Amino acid sequence: MVLRVARFQCFKCARLQNRHYSKKNAWIAVLGLFLLYVWAGPTQAQTLNAWQLEEARDLAAIGEQAAEKGHPVMLLFTRLRGGGAATLKEEAILPVVENGLLDGYAVMLEVTLNSGGEVIDFYGEPVSKQTLADWYNITKYPTLITLDPSGEEISERMETAGAYVYVPHRIQKMVNQGLAAMGQSKRLSF
């Protein structure tokens, strides 16, 4: 009989102990989810919202600024829901731009063709985005071109990038070709 009571007490203690641990584990889980939200939730949302290429609006003003600073202008032509354009931007182009690797060497803008609206061209005239794409013979999307401050194409272009791991190197090559064509001695290196 004594042995039986001891077992009952141990079972009762074990049950109470399990209840205590399950409450403790629940609080730890809630705290962990809260910390995960605080750490990853808004940060991820802020990063996605902040990491956007500036849409081209006034190329004449951008050209004047680029001429003063002595660097080329890069235009990324894309379409809304245009296949790999969004992935290319997220995986390869935005990290280069947002980490400041082009600062002081080039300015990169986006021209989204089927988003409506007009762009002021390098001569100060408003034109449709499709007309701008036609002037530069853009037939594939996404396409990245490098221009001098007057709007002339000055390096090889990047059409439908391929392997994203090589895109930063291609951007570097395009910027350096543009700088050389403009007679600048500085070169971009990552």
Per-residue HEC secondary structure of 139-160 comes to CCCCEEEEECCCCCECCCCEEC
In terms of domains, do 60 and 5 share one? no
In terms of domains, do 43 and 65 share one? no
Look up residue 51 and give its two tokens. Answer: 């990491």
In terms of domains, do 153 and 116 share one? yes
Distance CA 157, CA 46 (A): 31
Number of domains in the chain: 2
In terms of domains, do 97 and 141 share one? yes
In terms of domains, do 83 and 10 share one? no
DSSP-H helix ranges across 89-166? 94-98, 129-135
In terms of domains, do 22 and 60 share one? no
Report, as an integer, the average pLDDT of 176-190: 94
- Residue 189 placed within a domain: no
Look up residue 149 and give its two tokens. Answer: 């401050």
In terms of domains, do 151 and 80 share one? yes
pLDDT score of 138? 94
Could you tell me which residue, 39 or 174, shows the higher pLDDT?
A: 174
pLDDT score of 145? 97
Q: Which among 113, 2, 118 is positioned nearest to 59, based on CA atoms?
A: 118
**CATH assignment at residue 136:** 3.40.30.10
pLDDT interval class at 43 (50, 70, 90)? very low
188 has pLDDT over 80: yes
133 has pLDDT over 50: yes
Question: Which residues are CB-contacts of 69 (< 8 A; sequence separation ≥ 6)?
Answer: 104
Report, as an integer, the average pLDDT of 59-83: 92
44 has pLDDT over 50: no
* Residue range of the domain that includes 137: 53-181
Running DSSP on this structure, what letter comes out for residue 164? G
- Residue 30 placed within a domain: yes
In terms of domains, do 78 and 7 share one? no
Cα 7 from chain centroid (whole Å) = 64
User: pLDDT of 94-123, one tens digit each?
Assistant: 999 999 999 999 999 999 988 888 999 999
Cα 65 from chain centroid (whole Å) = 23
In terms of domains, do 87 and 25 share one? no
pLDDT score of 47? 44
In terms of domains, do 68 and 81 share one? yes
29 has pLDDT over 90: no
Distance CA 132, CA 113 (A): 9
Residue 75 identity: L
Q: Which among 83, 66, 84 is positioned nearest to 75, based on CA atoms?
A: 66
